[in-house]
Amino acid sequence: MNHRRSPEPFLWMLFSSGGMVAALMVPILLFLFGLAFPLGLLSAPSHAHLYAVVHNPLTRLVLFGLCVLALFHWAHRFRYTLYDGLQLKRYAVPIVVLCYGGAVVGSVIAAGLLLTV
């Protein structure tokens, strides 16, 4: 018998927090910086203003949480996409390493970038 605690409930919690954060925050940011400014629908804010916003510790904390949770949301969903969508469950170990490993590496990069703003 395997008595080790399964990490699955924890991963599901990260998945659902990430799904909520992605739904609430990503559309407006993607709309502004990915579409509205590049297409000239709105004029892009000045560097000084954005620097002041991003330099605020609260902004950086929120952005860090957004990045980490969104990445773990991706990891969990993409893992099951590969299992079910592409019928790759026999490669479960490398898939788990790729997905959650990718999310951990991305989180470390996010922390590094946000700490040095």
What is the binding site for another protein (CB under 8 A)? 16, 18-20, 22-35, 37-39, 42, 44-45, 47-51, 53-54, 63, 66-67, 70-71, 73-74, 76-78, 80-81, 84-87, 106, 109-110, 113-114, 116-117
Please report where in the chains the tokens 């969104």 appear, as a residue: 70
Which of 7/105 has CB closer to another protein? 105
Nearest-approach distance from CB 116 to another protein, in angstroms:
7
Least distance (Å) from another protein to the CB of residue 95?
A: 14
Q: From the CB of 4, what's the least distance to another protein, in Å?
A: 22
Beta carbon of residue 93, minimum distance to another protein (angstroms, whole number): 19
Q: Contacts for 25-28 with beta carbons within 8 Å, 24 or more apart?
A: 25/66, 26/66, 26/70
Reported as type and span, the H/E element at residue 106 is helix 92-115
